[in-house]
Amino acid sequence: MSIDYKAYIQRNPVICGGEPVIAGTRVTVRTVLASLAEGAEVDSILADFPSLNRDAVRAVIAFAAASAEEDLPAPPLPEVA
């Protein structure tokens, strides 16, 4: 099941300087990603940030994946003989 991260992630210039955050919170996408990168389990993140839920953490991962995909250059097309 794919998650619609757009329902969970928002950017507002007056909230955390416009950094992407979990909607309705001041928890930044960067904070959640950093915790995951350091090896934190989802349960640990949820304990640290009780305003989040599992779907919000999944949305952060989906947002990061979509953002990375947008930043990657398109691979060259193969030559056709």
Distances from the Cα of 12 to the Cα of 20, 29, 30, 36, 71, angstroms? 8, 13, 15, 24, 22
The string over 32-63, giving b where at least 16 C-beta atoms fall within 10 Å of a residue's C-beta and e elsewhere, is beebbeeeeebeebbeebeebeeebbbbbbbb
So what's the pLDDT on residue 62? Answer: 93
Whether the per-residue pLDDT at 39 is higher than 80: the answer is yes
> What residues contact residue 30 under an 8 Å CB cut-off, 6+ apart?
19, 20
Whether the per-residue pLDDT at 78 is higher than 70: the answer is no
The phi and psi torsions of 69 (rounded to 5 degrees) equal -65, -40
Whether the per-residue pLDDT at 81 is higher than 70: the answer is no
List of domains in the chain: 5-67 (1.10.10.10)
